[in-house]
């Protein structure tokens, strides 16, 4: 939901006051981590986990079968984490593409509803 002009100005004033009072905290809160970088980091860690699971799987063949099972479970979990991290990478919600996507979705929904209403009216008119 978009903020009104008054709310936007109030938010900017609060940000400026925070930056003046505690610049280190303001810098930390701003951060440079975007959802994309966080998901990439998660995918990279999942890759490392997958390799560790592979190693446990091979080592477990010589040591004990439970080590192999644990390695397989780690590999499976790492794969699920990597796939979800890959799917979650989306454009920023505040960017212009997000507005366009929302407008497209809204217009497709409204056109769908318009089509459904038109079909309903046609059926009522034809007596079905």
Res 115 pLDDT > 70: yes
Instruction: Report yes or no on 16 lying in a domain.
Output: no
Q: What is the pLDDT of residue 101?
A: 46
How many structural domains does the chain have? 2
CB count, 10 Å around CB of 50?
19
| % of the chain residues with pLDDT over 70 | 77
- Clarify whether residues 82 and 103 are in a common domain: no
User: Which residues constitute the domain of residue 71?
Assistant: 32-90
- Clarify whether residues 43 and 76 are in a common domain: yes
What does the alpha-carbon distance between residue 101 and residue 25 come to, in Å, rounded to a whole number?
A: 34
Q: Tell me the mean pLDDT in the region 30-37.
A: 70
- Clarify whether residues 119 and 86 are in a common domain: no
Instruction: Yes or no: say if 90 and 35 are a contact pair by the CB < 8 Å rule.
Output: yes
Res 87 pLDDT > 90: no
Kindly write down the DSSP assignment for every residue of the chain, as one continuous string.
-PPPHHHHHHHHHHHHHHHHH-HHHHHHHH-S--HHHHHHHHHHHHHHHHHHHHHHHHHHHHS-HHHHHHHHHHHHHHHHHHHHHHHH----TTSHHHHHHHHHHHHHHHHHHHHHHHHHHHHHHHT-
What are 82's two structure tokens? 């990597």
What does the alpha-carbon distance between residue 13 and residue 57 come to, in Å, rounded to a whole number?
A: 56
């Amino acid at each position: 939901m978009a903020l009104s002009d008054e709310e936007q100005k109030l938010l900017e004033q609060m940000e400026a006051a925070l930056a003046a009072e505690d610049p280190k905290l303001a810098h930390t809160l701003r951060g440079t981590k975007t959802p994309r970088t966080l998901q990439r980091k998660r995918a990279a860690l999942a890759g490392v986990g997958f390799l560790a699971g592979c190693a446990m799987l091979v080592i477990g063949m010589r040591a004990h079968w439970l080590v192999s099972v644990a390695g397989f479970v780690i590999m499976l979990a790492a794969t699920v984490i990597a796939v979800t991290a890959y799917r979650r990478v989306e454009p920023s919600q505040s960017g212009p593409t997000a507005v366009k996507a929302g407008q497209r979705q809204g217009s497709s929904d409204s056109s769908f509803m318009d089509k459904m209403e038109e079909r309903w009216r046609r059926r009522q008119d034809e007596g079905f």
